[in-house]
A and B are shown apart, each in its own frame.
Chain A
Amino acid sequence: MLSRPATFAMLAPVLLVLILLLVLPVGYLISFSVLARGTGPQTLGAFTMANYGRLFGDTYYLALFGRTLWLSALTTAIAALAGTCFAWFMWQSGRRWRGPLTILILSPLLISIVVTSYGWVVLLGRNGAINTALEALGLISAPLRLIHNDFGIVVGLVHVVIPFMVLCVLAALERIEAVLGEAAMTLGAQPWRVLWHVILPLAMPGVAAGTTIVFCLSLSAYVTPAVLGGSGPNFVTTMIYDLFITQYDWPFGAAVAAVLLATALAIVILYQRLLARLGAEA
């Protein structure tokens, strides 16, 4: 074991980066949230809690928070289901397919999110490939609205976050000894029961880690809702952007950012507690 100062020295680089690049700027930004808006475009006024009062007093903002949480949760649920299936498929498929499948699942991360989002526009837009094909087949008479709404946001978000889900679940699956499945079979378990009683419970730590990461990524996503969402603020992040850049209302934007951060933290902490309790019971 390392001595205490040496252990601290190992931590120092990461701590330094976190403090310099995250805690200080974010803390500084959040400090704006308790100030009034100044008289000039980018000036700040006196101490006030009015920004928070405005946020919690207006159902428009609360509804936007609700929408964002709901769409992030939906994205997480879809990514968990699809990602777990895909990870299981990769795990089963053996060495030869592992490489190509890994590249396939990582591909959304290899391309800029802006590009992939506009890719969805090309595919799902009013005159996009899907609508054109459906119309040509005579299945629809008018184009379907597939983007610039919640559907578009969720499709785009799932695409962006699913690699993280798959990699988390795959890492958990890889730690499972193959002999456990065989043991279950010799004890009389049909294949689906091997999956249900042995493989899935042992993959759960991966699903838990994956859902945590994916939920946070979704909640803080900006490009996807900006490109694929409806007009006007459709997500908390796009509203924060709007407040800072368009309306120059830094104090109120900071208050919204602070509440988003607190919400994300609270949900992650509650979720970890819940998982720990479930783990202890099992």
Chain B
Amino acid sequence: MAEVTLTGLTKHYGAARVVDAVSLSIASGEFITLLGPSGCGKTTTLRMIAGLAAPDAGRISLAGADVTGLPAHRRNIGMVFQSHALFPHMSVAENVAFGLRMRGLARGPRAERAQAALERVHLGAFGARLPAQLSGGQQQRVALARALVFDPHVLLLDEPFGALDRKLRELMQDELRDLTRRIGITAVFVTHDQEEAMILSDRVAVMNAGRIEQIDTPEAIFERPATRFVADFMGFGNIFDGHAANGTITAGGLCLRAAPPGPADGAVQVALRAERIALAAADTAGAENAAPGRITAATYHGTLTTYRMAPDNGGPELLVREASAGGTRFAPGARVVASWPAQAVRVLTG
């Protein structure tokens, strides 16, 4: 059964339509991420589910009941904010117990359940402290415990790990994934970090300009983007306007064969994954798609090295990403042959 259903959800700020007819059905126990750049409407969508923003049109239902007109405090949702939003004047235990207190639970059972929730996030010994006495990661774990302690219909997370450093963020992502799977809660997560979305989600909804561009499993989104925006956001690196004739796509001077092939004829957009292009100093025999050319730029990133390559036939420049192996392999000006499998070429529909 769908735990969260959004139907035609729309929101304007002034003349700007920040959320544009978003419809989404989230199954019970599912972890969904709204992924997109800042200003794409993902946070506003989340705030409308929470009841912190009112939609101009559309409906929201939680656990089968229409909650569109219901204020936040009557929706039974748990929410984690980027700034953790712990109450600075209450102890950690009081923070976690707050939702239970608002639900009229007596002091005794309240304290017991808060303690259990704190133990679930490995902070059982920290109940008496004030939030300011905890580290950033600990504060965010308290916020998580506070949002889960009253068994909400759905857990909403608004870029909760945005303020944490990379290492801590990865640790928290693992913990969050384990915890949500273990208790089987439905979760909606908002982020602009595609890697984070991949790691955590059952499904990812990529948002752009207030609309959902594509919604699918992380693998499908990453491997098979439907639109130019999604391909770009997923870091394909090379997106070209091309033309299909007799099943062969040409873009500039490049001849691209795609698998699966796109339409037989007409204008198409194609995306080519930068890290699936191989560079070789000599001709690579037998490659389906290959182009000789010259390196125009090389940038060493550490784990990766990126190259820009201008094909000899005057086609568009190619971006190539490869794992660094002992440093930069080619200097600008070097002659190379770029080749890629047909599976790295994706025909886009929009």
Partner of A187, one of B52, B89, B99: B99
- Expressed in whole angstroms, the Cα–Cα distance for A180 and B143 within the complex equals 12
A44 at the interface (CB under 8 A from B): no
Q: Cβ of A179 and Cβ of B83 under 8 Å apart?
A: yes
A135 at the interface (CB under 8 A from B): no
Using an 8 Å CB-CB cutoff, how does the interface string of A186-225 with B read, 1 for contact, 0 for none? 1111100100011001100000000000000000000000
- When A179-B81, A182-B52, A182-B72 are in contact, do A188 and B103 touch as well, CB less than 8 Å? yes
- When A186-B50, A187-B102, A188-B99 are in contact, do A180 and B73 touch as well, CB less than 8 Å? no
| A230 CB → nearest B CB, Å | 44
Q: Cβ of A177 and Cβ of B85 under 8 Å apart?
A: yes
Q: Cβ of B89 and Cβ of A201 under 8 Å apart?
A: yes
Residue of A nearest to B152 (CB): A186
- Expressed in whole angstroms, the Cα–Cα distance for A196 and B155 within the complex equals 25
Q: Cβ of A180 and Cβ of B85 under 8 Å apart?
A: yes
A183 at the interface (CB under 8 A from B): yes
- Expressed in whole angstroms, the Cα–Cα distance for A236 and B74 within the complex equals 55
Centre residue among B73, B79, B146, B147 by max chain A CB count within 10 A: B73
B76 at the interface (CB under 8 A from A): yes
A103 at the interface (CB under 8 A from B): no
Q: Chain B residues near A73 (CB, 8 Å)?
A: none
B51 at the interface (CB under 8 A from A): yes
Q: Chain A residues near B50 (CB, 8 Å)?
A: 182, 186
Q: Cβ of A188 and Cβ of B73 under 8 Å apart?
A: yes
Size bracket, chain B contacts: 20 to 34
Using an 8 Å CB-CB cutoff, how does the interface string of A155-191 with B read, 1 for contact, 0 for none? 0000000000000000000000101101111111110
Using an 8 Å CB-CB cutoff, how does the interface string of B96-125 with A read, 1 for contact, 0 for none? 001100110000000000000000000000
- Expressed in whole angstroms, the Cα–Cα distance for A179 and B72 within the complex equals 13
Chain A interface helix/strand/loop/mixed: helix
**Interface residue count on the A side (C-beta < 8 Å):** 18
Q: Cβ of B73 and Cβ of A183 under 8 Å apart?
A: no
A282 at the interface (CB under 8 A from B): yes
- When A186-B50, A186-B77, A186-B79 are in contact, do A180 and B102 touch as well, CB less than 8 Å? no
- Expressed in whole angstroms, the Cα–Cα distance for A182 and B87 within the complex equals 11
- Expressed in whole angstroms, the Cα–Cα distance for A193 and B72 within the complex equals 13
Residue of A nearest to B146 (CB): A187
* Number of A-B residue pairs having CB atoms within 8 Å of each other in the complex: 64
Q: Cβ of B76 and Cβ of A180 under 8 Å apart?
A: no
Q: Chain A residues near B127 (CB, 8 Å)?
A: none
Q: Chain B residues near A193 (CB, 8 Å)?
A: 102
Using an 8 Å CB-CB cutoff, how does the interface string of B230-274 with A read, 1 for contact, 0 for none? 000000000000000000000000000000000000000000000
- Expressed in whole angstroms, the Cα–Cα distance for A190 and B104 within the complex equals 12
Partner of B79, one of A183, A189, A197, A202: A183
Residue of A nearest to B74 (CB): A188
B39 at the interface (CB under 8 A from A): no
- Expressed in whole angstroms, the Cα–Cα distance for A193 and B83 within the complex equals 22
Partner of B76, one of A188, A189, A190: A188
Q: Cβ of A185 and Cβ of B71 under 8 Å apart?
A: yes
| B32 CB → nearest A CB, Å | 18
Residue of B nearest to A194 (CB): B73
Q: Chain A residues near B51 (CB, 8 Å)?
A: 185-186
- Expressed in whole angstroms, the Cα–Cα distance for A282 and B87 within the complex equals 12
Q: Cβ of B72 and Cβ of A186 under 8 Å apart?
A: yes
B88 at the interface (CB under 8 A from A): yes
Q: Cβ of B77 and Cβ of A184 under 8 Å apart?
A: no
Q: Cβ of B83 and Cβ of A177 under 8 Å apart?
A: yes
- Expressed in whole angstroms, the Cα–Cα distance for A243 and B103 within the complex equals 62
Using an 8 Å CB-CB cutoff, how does the interface string of A230-267 with B read, 1 for contact, 0 for none? 00000000000000000000000000000000000000
Q: Cβ of B83 and Cβ of A189 under 8 Å apart?
A: no
Residue of A nearest to B89 (CB): A201
Q: Cβ of A183 and Cβ of B85 under 8 Å apart?
A: yes
- Expressed in whole angstroms, the Cα–Cα distance for A183 and B86 within the complex equals 8
Using an 8 Å CB-CB cutoff, how does the interface string of B52-72 with A read, 1 for contact, 0 for none? 100000000000000000011
Q: Chain B residues near A189 (CB, 8 Å)?
A: 73, 98, 102
Residue of B nearest to A204 (CB): B89
Q: Chain A residues near B88 (CB, 8 Å)?
A: 202
- Expressed in whole angstroms, the Cα–Cα distance for A185 and B87 within the complex equals 12
Q: Chain A residues near B98 (CB, 8 Å)?
A: 184, 187, 189, 197
- Expressed in whole angstroms, the Cα–Cα distance for A156 and B297 within the complex equals 77
Instruction: List the interface of chain B (C-beta within 8 A of A).
Output: 50-52, 71-79, 81, 83, 85-89, 98-99, 102-103, 146-147, 150, 156
A183-B81, A184-B98, A189-B98 known; 16 new pairs, CB 8 Å cut-off, are A177-B83, A179-B81, A180-B85, A182-B50, A182-B72, A183-B86, A183-B87, A185-B72, A186-B52, A186-B147, A187-B78, A187-B147, A188-B73, A189-B102, A202-B88, A282-B89
Of all A-B residue pairs in the complex, the 5 with the closest CB atoms, nearest first, are: A188-B102, A183-B85, A187-B99, A185-B72, A186-B79
Instruction: List the interface of chain A (C-beta within 8 A of B).
Output: 177, 179-180, 182-190, 193, 197-198, 201-202, 282
Q: List 25 A-B contacts (CB under 8 A).
A: A177-B85, A179-B83, A182-B72, A182-B81, A183-B79, A183-B81, A184-B87, A184-B98, A185-B51, A185-B72, A186-B50, A186-B52, A186-B75, A186-B78, A186-B79, A187-B78, A187-B102, A187-B146, A187-B150, A188-B74, A188-B99, A188-B103, A189-B102, A197-B98, A201-B89
